[in-house]
Structure 1
């Protein structure tokens, strides 16, 4: 069932990706023209052209991305003691790394910077990396785990502190395969991943009984005062593609019982007293 879920998610995303949808719509409009269905073709092409122009001209994608990125804030004060630092894979560029036989980082490379910072703050805490290959065509490689080990040691983390899980292909499997490797199963861990991905990651962790505190990095959206008409299609797609994918992922994970909620909240409240204390502790200074 996990294999089917993984393959279906990749196949469906090929048709649901915003960039791909635009191309498919253009192809459909062109096909209608070839059939001399001028009116239908105009509707498709005019609508697609307008949407493409809006995506290029203004970062509307921020309105999809910001709710994801603001759901979990970095802790105002870090805990005195933790049992480990969990870093989710995704900061690596696996294809380019394999193509050029070098360790290449992608847009999520901030995960490694955060791992280095936290490793210094907690010198005795193990650093747990989890991630194999999320690409269907690259399942017979050493995946992200091998890259991560080299990268983490290069940035100064002792290899003796590393716990590497390299079989997982998605967020659900990240925690499924990592949980048995945790030094203390009921311990408290800092979770490092991209801010937009944090709600789903925390939801999966809670569902599998792994206690984590979110440490989000790799923000993709603009603040309100910096959001302008700038005609930067590539920059806007860097937010639109992952945001759209993440909302789909949250829905799919919730429907299949892989997360505790459709849009997991920052805290799992046990009672009103706990809620009041947590909210007070995390208020900005």
Structure 2
């Protein structure tokens, strides 16, 4: 198992809701050892952490701090770039024989925005970057993110000749590395979710990719939601909080891995 997979597994268990399960198991073990006060404290921390991250104001504070920088660094959609680059993360590839079609995720706005930019003439072609954990299935179901994005972009009116696929990368660092190798010193319009833009630009700068920010998939702020959704803990807020915490964790680890 390589470092990327190890970090993925550790992050999954270190964050809610899995971290609550881990905390409760540890609390149960402490109770069996008759360390009951410590067991109660451990259980309470595990539950309160999950409840806090499910609370909309906490979620908003975490995710919007990432998006503010994306807004500040966003570029105007004007001509001309050598390519529009769409990073993986907005679509789940097919997984035959279980699913034969890709599934659009919360970040699918990335592809829609890239298609809009292409139709405005921002760049002559789009690079879609993202691999998959299943074997390539040429001519069959789209088992890589890049192939899934390519087919979706075609449905959005982007001609096949204007789409270039990079199907080997499995994380953001690999996305940027492989795109840089493809475009060399070219200028690219980098399209990704707003919460992901800060880290993507930092990696691009470190690896020598000339990228301008074109963020999308912004989190809906409290002012745009019904008031009753802004105070009760809910699964959507927990999901966004976990997304933000994963970004902060990745920013820390990416910085340590930088040269």
**After TM superposition, is the score higher than 0.5?**
yes
User: What is the TM-score when the length of structure 2 is the normalising length?
Assistant: 0.87
For the Cα contact (< 8 Å) 2:188–2:211, is it kept in 1? yes
In structure 2, which of residues 17, 24, 29 is the aligned counterpart of residue 26 of structure 1?
24
For the Cα contact (< 8 Å) 1:205–1:212, is it kept in 2? yes
**CA, structure 1 residues 114+240, in 2 after alignment: closer, same or farther (shift >3 Å)?**
same
Match of 2:154 in 1: 153
1:108-164 Cα offsets, whole Å, 9 max, x none, are 11111101110110176110111112xxxx243442122112111111100000110
After TM superposition, the structure 1 = structure 2 runs for residues 135-284 of structure 1, keeping only pairs within 5 Å, are 138-141=133-136, 142-182=143-183, 185-220=184-219, 222-223=221-222, 229-257=230-258
Matches of 1:67 and 1:181, distance apart in 2: 32
For the Cα contact (< 8 Å) 1:65–1:196, is it kept in 2? yes
Matches of 2:15 and 2:122, distance apart in 1: 41
- State the secondary structure of the residue aligned to 1:216: strand
Matches of 2:224 and 2:150, distance apart in 1: 39
1:21-67 Cα offsets, whole Å, 9 max, x none, are 11111111122223333212111122333333333344312222111
**Residue 11 of structure 2 is aligned to residue 16 of structure 1:** no
Matches of 1:221 and 1:5, distance apart in 2: 34
Match of 2:114 in 1: 115
**CA, structure 1 residues 29+62, in 2 after alignment: closer, same or farther (shift >3 Å)?**
same
For the Cα contact (< 8 Å) 1:55–1:233, is it kept in 2? no
- State the secondary structure of the residue aligned to 2:26: helix
For the Cα contact (< 8 Å) 1:189–1:212, is it kept in 2? yes
Taking only aligned residues, the RMSD between alpha carbons, in angstroms, comes to 2.4
Gaps of 5+ in 1: 259-285
Matches of 2:122 and 2:160, distance apart in 1: 13
After TM superposition, the structure 1 = structure 2 runs for residues 79-90 of structure 1, keeping only pairs within 5 Å, are 79-90=78-89
Gaps of 5+ in 2: 137-142
Matches of 2:241 and 2:102, distance apart in 1: 26
Q: Aligned-pair distance for 1:76?
A: 6.2
In structure 1, which of residues 30, 34, 37 is the aligned counterpart of residue 35 of structure 2?
37
For the Cα contact (< 8 Å) 1:103–1:151, is it kept in 2? no
> What is the count of residue pairs matched by the alignment?
250
User: What is the TM-score when the length of structure 1 is the normalising length?
Assistant: 0.79
